[in-house]
Structure 1
Amino acid sequence: MASHAANLWVLLGLGLAGILLVTKKFKKNVKEDFGAFIEKLQLLPPPQPAPPKAPHPLTSLTFAVSDVFDIEGYVTGFGHPEWASSSSAASRTATAISTLVEGGATCVGKTVVDELAYSINGVNKHYGTPTNPAANSRVPGGSCSGAAVAVAANLVDFSLGIDTVGGVRIPASFCGIIGFRSSHGAVSLMGTLPISTSLDTIGWFARDPNVLRRVGHVLLQLPFGIQRNPQQIIIADDCFELPKFPVDRIVQVVIKSTEKLYGRQLLKHENLGHYFSSRIPSLKLFHKTNGEVKTSSIRVLANIMRFIQRYEFKYNHEEWINSVKPTLDPGISAQIYENLETSDTDIENCKSVRNEMRLAINSLLKDDGVLVIPTTAYPPPKLGGKELLSEDYQNSAFSLLSIASISGCCQVTVPLGYHENCPISVSFVAKHGGDRFLLDTLQNMYKSLQEQVDVIATSKSSSNAVSKEESAETAKEMGNQAYKEKQWQKAIGFYTEAIKLSGNNATYYSNRAAAYLELGSFLQAEADCTKAINLDKKNVKAYLRRGTAREMLGYYKEAIEDFQYALVLEPTNKRASISADRLRKVFM
């Protein structure tokens, strides 16, 4: 008899183990469905040095790279199958990748880029558009869309990309993660496909500012140095007039965080368009009188940046793109062959603007200043949305992106929560060569910035005067993001705030129950699911979660009833079917 009981428990254990393995496999497939990767591979770091030497600085971290970086033995695809089919496997690995692997990180694959890495949208008709984990119905942003999605979906710890005219900054903003564009020339581009040589620079994505900084120290090969606090935080007022969504909250987050950490005396305001007009004489060579100077100077810079990108891209690849022009995405083809009003002499004038602009920003920021601007002018557009083809969408985006691209300065994109279920962000810019200072500043400010986001997002007297329902949805979305990042207690806090604002929403209780389950708080999970079911009798997830909680509490009969009722509502639900059958066989 005892032997029979022991065998029963062994079988039960094996059955539960099998279910766990199936669940893990299912979760893995869901992650892969984000469509971030072109190719999976593995580049392993060298063995750890023997004590007392310190371990590699990036030990245990995984990363992915955009498909513009060479990896020995693999073809670099450039986001276009014709390029891949006409290219040979790389004979050596890009310097940036080798540096990271030698630093202890493991490279796990190549990720999708926009066609020829030339767009800011994140759409690729050949390989598919990666799914934006932060807003599934929205574009992920480009050109390094897959690299951003891989980080946002928690598939890797960080990823590597190229930022020419926003290739890292835009997808970081649209996917709600951190994106760093290094100073032009600060990190070796050896082994990368050139897009626009005078604008290209290495960038990287991460969810954690500490990881971003560790990667930066390895790539930039920075020696030990004392951290410096900023001595001025300059808000570009005219740039904050460009976005098509409310920016008061963004500005208030930066102001409140700065006051808390450094004092209000550090805050300054600047009209960047006026400043550039007075400090960049060569702009007059391109300037057209079209109303207000404050916006026109930045718009002119956007046109200059686009001209440089187009000119240098065609210089590098014109013969090839002419041969495949019919296969190019119409939107990208239009940009490459756009008839901007320029001449050969404009090339030298562009160089003058670039040099003068770098001097102007260095003069404004000096060694210890940070410029604050919006990352984007629009929230991430809907997939197939009209904004993607809008001239204003392009012009507004390039106006903001041109500041760092033309000057060669470093810039970091910082997520600041959500607006109407879409990620929003702010960007900090430091002078050319100020990469360490900017990484340190972000690390010092990040926690405070997120705290201010939480305060403002849940405040009833928000400057945007949003309704309780909108505030509740914002809190729920922040809870969802915390849940994705496995910050269960933080997720519970956000869901609780959503319930306080709108206590008759079954989803809020059900979501909080999911977080309680992760923490092993089964009584709380059961109570929340019961409340959700009372509010919505057809909430399948609530029945499944309550069934799980009751099973763990030993209420097997009630758990079976929950799983059976979930099956009545959703007859094809495999989880409910497997769970009900398993419990019936063992406990009935």
Structure 2
Amino acid sequence: MNSSFNSPFVLPVNLNINNVSNTKAPQPLKGWTLAVKDLFHIDGIVTSAGNPDWADSHPLPTKTSETVSRLLDAGVQYVGKTITDELAYSLNGQNIHYPALVNCLDNERICGGSSSGSAVAVGRKLARIGLGTDTGGSIRIPASYNGLVGFRPSHGLISLKDVVPLAPSFDTAGWITNNIEDAVEIGKFLLPKSVEKHFMAAQPLVLNNLVESCEFKNELYTWLDSKFDKNWQSSLAVTSELLKDASDAFRVLQGREIWQTHGDWIKNTQPRFADDIQQRFQWCSTLSANDELAAIEQQQRLIKTVSLILNQQHYIVIPTTPGPAPRRDTSAREIAEYRKKLMQFTCIAGLTGCPQLHMPLFQQKNTAYGVSIIGPKNSDLELLFLGKQLMENIE
């Protein structure tokens, strides 16, 4: 791990939280340190959402996010708000308004975003819990790039009240940790207990098209054969064409909601954005109702296909990303092309609302990458326990 790095925290770090819990209830996470993505409101602390113009044009929060409050009630120690990509609309972990964050394993690679600061805070052992949001991959991607555990819950399961939205139909609140045991403990506190037994006899089903297009397919196949004694199934039901169409549909549906959510503020405030983010917002403004209807059709195709798989006593196994984090000197054009490919890996959970757990199984030469499991909607706690089981004996 590199010793020279910029702080992942929004400075100055304000530790004067006005609603520190006085609860007498049990505190299962007592003493755990918490880094909070700068989208979650905390009473008396500025929320900038990664952009100074947002902070300047919005009032100081007078309420604390429900999810942050629950964690405080559990006994966590807040250590600061963390840098996010602007309005969370990027997967790179680069923000022109702050000193550059770098990968925890290699200074020459990006850290991924948009929950970039939360991931780096955990990866640098500055916090035990990195609280973030995930719309199109913003927890799963930085977790993968930095060799961490990342969990995106089922859509709507964790409260996003008093959190700056991006695209509400896809936004989720989740967490990043250094190990699966911590991720499970957080889930045991935050997640509702499921009455169903989704994985009693479940079999792993691997989406071959994604595996074949990732850079570490041989390692992944070796792990599958070893872990399941070659007793796993593969599927071509989620075709390359379906994944491409689904990824495009996600971008459109997300973009329509982003403009509906933030379009008026952008037009009225004229905030300064990084060029790539400005271009994406501009593109969002051009999307029509007909574009949205066509994208919904593609979303429903994916939902139907994935539901058939999950209803047949399977959970889905995919590589979380195409490979390790891109280098920081990768051209803007190459990053834009890579983003399109990356979103074919991340769009399944986004469009279906299913939970996804990233497991950091592989690391070499200062790079990390891993595998995700996706379960039926609201199988979250069981999925975390399954992940813990699958990660046993991982060196």
Q: Same fold (TM over 0.5)?
A: yes
Instruction: Tell me: CA distance 1:255–1:342, structure 2 relative to 1, closer, same or farther (3 Å).
Output: farther
1:253-284 Cα deviation digits (max 9, x unpaired): 1331223xxxx43x11011xxx24xxxxxxxx
Q: Does 1:197 align with 2:168?
A: yes
Residue 108 of structure 1 aligns with an amino acid whose one-letter code is: V
**Are 1:318 and 2:283 matched, yes or no?**
no
C-alpha distance in 1 between matches for 2:47 and 2:312: 38
Q: Deviations over 1:205-250 (max 9, x none)?
A: 001211101111222233799895552001111111222x232102
Query: Residue 10 of structure 2: which of 31, 38, 49 is its match?
Result: 38
* Amino acid of the structure 2 residue aligned with 1:299: K
Residue of structure 1 equivalent to 2:368: 423
CA contact (8 A) 2:6 2:101 kept: yes
Residues 34 and 133 of structure 1 are in contact (CA less than 8 Å); yes or no, is this contact kept in structure 2? no
Q: 1:424 Cα deviation (Å)?
A: 1.3
Return closer, same or farther for 1:224/1:231 CA change in 2, 3 Å cut-off: closer
1:322-342 C-alpha deviation (Å, 9 max, x unpaired): 345572111111222237996
Aligned twin of 1:173: 144
Q: CA deviation at 1:345?
A: 2.4
Give the 3 Å change call, closer, same or farther, for CA 269–367 of structure 1 in structure 2.
closer
Tell me if structure 1 keeps the 8 A contact 2:256–2:285. Answer: no
Which of 218, 224, 235 is the equivalent residue of 1:270?
Answer: 235
SS of 2:137's partner is coil
The verdict on how the C-alpha distance between 1:236 and 1:247 changes in structure 2, with shifts beyond 3 A counting, is same
Query: How far apart, in 1, do the equivalents of 2:330 and 2:376 lie?
Result: 36
Q: Pick one of 206, 209, 221 that aligns with 1:251.
A: 221
CA deviation string 1:24-67 (max 9, x = no partner): xxxxxx68x44210042445864674xxx8x4221221111100
Alpha-carbon distance in structure 1 between the residues aligned to 2:114 and 2:201? 31
2:316 corresponds to which residue?
371
Which residue is 1:281 aligned to?
none
User: For structure 2, which runs of at least 5 residues remain unmatched after alignment?
Assistant: none
Unaligned runs of 5+ in 1: 1-29, 277-293, 452-588
Q: Say if 1:258 and 1:340 are closer, same or farther in 2 by CA, change over 3 A.
A: farther
In 2, Cα distance between equivalents of 1:95 and 1:297: 37
Residue 140 of structure 1, aligned match among 111, 123, 130 = 111
**Range moving further from structure 2, 213-222 or 142-151:** 213-222
CA distance in 1, matches of 2:387, 2:10: 31
C-alpha deviation, 1:348, in angstroms: 3.3
- Residue of structure 2 equivalent to 1:526: none
1:447 CA displacement: 2.0
> Retained in 2: the 8 A contact 1:36–1:131?
no
CA distance in structure 2 between the partners assigned to 1:375 and 1:204 by the alignment = 16
Cα distance 1:341–1:300, how it changes in 2: closer, same or farther (>3 A)? farther
CA contact (8 A) 2:256 2:287 kept: no
Please state if 1:100 is matched with 2:71: yes
For residues 408-458 of structure 1, the C-alpha deviation after alignment (integer angstroms, 9 at most, x for no partner) is 11111111232443111111111111101210101111123x24xxxxxxx
> Does structure 2 conserve the Cα–Cα contact (< 8 Å) formed by 1:179 and 1:414?
yes
C-alpha distance in 2 between matches for 1:387 and 1:410: 31
- Letter matched to residue 378 of structure 2: G
Cα distance in 2 for partners of 1:99, 1:68 equals 16
Cα 1:77/1:368, change in 2 over 3 Å: farther
Match of 1:332 in 2: 277
- Within the candidate set 152, 155, 158, 1:187 is matched to 158
Q: State the structure with more CA Rg.
A: 1
Q: Which has the higher contact order (CA 8 A, sep 6+)?
A: 2
Output the amino acid matched with 1:88.
P
| Map of 2:85 onto structure 1 | 114
Please give the TM-score of this superposition, normalised by the length of structure 2: 0.91
State the identity as a percent. Answer: 29
> What are the superposed Cα offsets for residues 359-395 of structure 1, whole Å, 9 maximum, x if unpaired?
4323212285321111111421112322674443011
Alpha-carbon contact 2:35-2:80 (below 8 Å) kept: yes
Is residue 2:81 matched to residue 1:81? no
Structure 2 distance, partners of 1:138, 1:315, is 34
Structure 2 distance, partners of 1:382, 1:242, is 19
Aligned residues: CA RMSD: 2.5
Q: Which residue, out of 301, 307, 324, partners 1:362?
A: 307
* Alpha carbons 2:320, 2:371 under 8 Å: kept: yes
* Contact 1:307–1:340, Cα closer than 8 Å, also in 2: no
Asked if 1 retains the 8 angstrom alpha-carbon contact of 2:205 and 2:314, the reply is yes
Instruction: Count residues with an aligned counterpart.
Output: 390
- In 1, distance between residues paired with 2:127 and 2:312? 33
Q: How does 1:265-304 map to 2 (within 5 A)?
A: 265=231, 267-271=232-236, 275-276=237-238, 294-304=239-249
Deviation track 1:522-576 (CA, whole Å, cap 9, x = no partner) reads xxxxxxxxxxxxxxxxxxxxxxxxxxxxxxxxxxxxxxxxxxxxxxxxxxxxxxx
Alignment-derived partner of residue 279 in structure 1: none
- Alpha carbons 2:198, 2:379 under 8 Å: kept: no
